[in-house]
Amino acid sequence: MALSGGHKNRGELRIHESLEELRTDLADYVAELSEASVKERGVFAVALSGGSLIGLLGKLCEAPYNKTVDWSKWYIFWADERVVAKNHVDSNYKLAKDGLLSKVPVVPSHVHSINDSVSAEEAADDYEFVIRQLVRTRVISVSEINDCPKFDLILLGLGPDGHVASLFPNHSALNEREEWVTFITDSPKPPPERITFTLPVINSASNVAVVVTGESKAESVYFAIDDVGPDCPLIPARMVEPATGKLVWFLDKLAASKLEESNLNK
Ligand SMILES: O=C(O)[C@H](O)[C@@H](O)[C@H](O)[C@H](O)COP(=O)(O)O
């Protein structure tokens, strides 16, 4: 690893020399959290996003992880989903199913994808209802400081504009404090209709990992993590601040290229 350290309140930074190194470190990290969570709670409740994240998780389908991870204890959710049919090329469910879930022995009934036959608003309500049921039965833990679900791990990507999940810059969804899952119909990144976890849910997780590669994200990484000063645009990624959980950034060298080395405590 090129550099691993912390950055004040912005969590742990893991900066990798190559994508290969990042993919291995990410698989180790997820496998370790899964093991710890299964030991402590008997289950592992993990939320995925779309985009390049799924490809970067690919090592989990290979040895040793495909055999050593206790896949039967995984409960899988989406931090955000595009409101399209499950077999549509834009579906985050399809992306994860094709790239990950179909290659490991997860229990189909533990895979909680959205209802794809209703409107975005109804899909968000339905998804929140499903999550409420699973919080009640403690498949998903509950936060000690609010009544939010406390996912064992939420995995996020980062857009070049600083969005995470489907929380886009300057969008009113960023202000949602009551709902756990909200919807948008005007996503600047197509497709326009999406559902997304809200910030209170993301910030209640036990672990949040933001996985970012490539130069086009370097400025967003800088605004999300560094001490930019009073003129720093408040991009959604900077609002990811788990209250009691742990935040880890998985970056490649290009994504980390605008961070000030002097601000990193190695
Ligand atoms: O459904 C989505 O669009 C995603 O969940 C979104 O939040 C994604 O993670 C980022 O846009 C990064 O995507 P890339 O890694 O592909 O750039």
Query: For a pocket test of ligand 1, which of 19, 22, 53 has the largest count of ligand atoms closer than 8 A to its C-beta?
Result: 53
Question: For 42-89, where are the alpha helices, taking DSSP H only?
Answer: 53-56, 65-68
Ligand 1 site, residue 187, Cβ cutoff 6 A: no
The encoded tokens of residue 199 equal 């910030």
Give dist(CA 223, CA 226) in Å, integer. Answer: 6
Query: Helix and strand tally (H, E) in the chain?
Result: 7, 12
Q: What pLDDT, in 10s, does the model give residues 129-181?
A: 999 999 999 999 999 999 999 999 999 999 999 999 999 999 999 999 999 99
Ligand 1 site, residue 80, Cβ cutoff 6 A: yes
Domain for residue 237, yes or no? Answer: no
Q: How many residues does the chain have?
A: 266
Domain for residue 243, yes or no? Answer: no
The answer to whether 78 touches 53, Cβ cutoff 8 Å, is no
The answer to whether 196 touches 190, Cβ cutoff 8 Å, is no
Residues of the chain scoring pLDDT < 70: 1-4, 7-8, 262-266
Domain for residue 259, yes or no? Answer: no
Give dist(CA 182, CA 173) in Å, integer. Answer: 7
- Identify residue 142 by its one-letter amino acid code: V
For ligand 1, atom 4, the nearest C-alpha belongs to 50
Question: How far from 101 is each of 75, 83, 93, 176, 246, CA to CA, in Å?
Answer: 11, 20, 9, 31, 25
Ligand 1 site, residue 50, Cβ cutoff 6 A: yes
Count the alpha carbons within 13 Å of 65 in the hemisphere toward its beta carbon. 22
Query: For a pocket test of ligand 1, which of 154, 155, 158, 195 has the largest count of ligand atoms closer than 8 A to its C-beta?
Result: 158
Query: For a pocket test of ligand 1, which of 163, 216, 221, 252 has the largest count of ligand atoms closer than 8 A to its C-beta?
Result: 163
Domain for residue 74, yes or no? Answer: yes
Residue 260's pLDDT is 86
Residue 263's pLDDT is 58
For 43, residues 6+ apart whose C-beta sits below 8 A from its C-beta are: 37, 73, 74, 75, 139, 152
Ligand 1 site, residue 26, Cβ cutoff 6 A: no
Residue 231's pLDDT is 86
The residue to which tokens 């509950």 are assigned:
142
Task: Answer yes or no: is the ipTM higher than 0.90.
Answer: yes
Residue 261's pLDDT is 77
Domain for residue 143, yes or no? Answer: yes
Residue 65: CATH number of its domain: 3.40.50.1360
Residue 230's pLDDT is 86
Three-state secondary-structure class, residue 74: strand
Ligand 1 geometric centre to CA of 164 (Å)? 7
User: What sign does the dihedral 68-207-256-58 (CA atoms) show?
Assistant: positive
Three-state secondary-structure class, residue 239: helix
Residue 223's pLDDT is 96
Give dist(CA 31, CA 109) in Å, integer. Answer: 21
Domain for residue 12, yes or no? Answer: no
Ligand 1 geometric centre to CA of 190 (Å)? 10
Ligand 1 site, residue 135, Cβ cutoff 6 A: no
Nearest to 10 by CA among 203, 193, 240: 240
Domain membership of residue 180 as a residue range: 20-218
Residue 264's pLDDT is 65
For ligand 1, atom 13, the nearest C-alpha belongs to 51
Three-state secondary-structure class, residue 151: coil
Provide the whole-model pTM: 0.97
Nearest to 111 by CA among 78, 143, 151, 66: 78
Ligand 1 site, residue 52, Cβ cutoff 6 A: yes
Coarse DSSP helix, strand, coil percentages of the chain, rounded to the nearest 5 percent: 35, 20, 40
Domain for residue 231, yes or no? Answer: no
Cross-strand bridge partners of residue 149:
142
The encoded tokens of residue 194 equal 């999406």
Ligand 1 site, residue 58, Cβ cutoff 6 A: no
Residue 229's pLDDT is 86
* Total domains, the chain: 1
Ligand 1 geometric centre to CA of 61 (Å)? 21
Domain for residue 46, yes or no? Answer: yes
For ligand 1, atom 11, the nearest C-alpha belongs to 159
Ligand 1 geometric centre to CA of 157 (Å)? 5
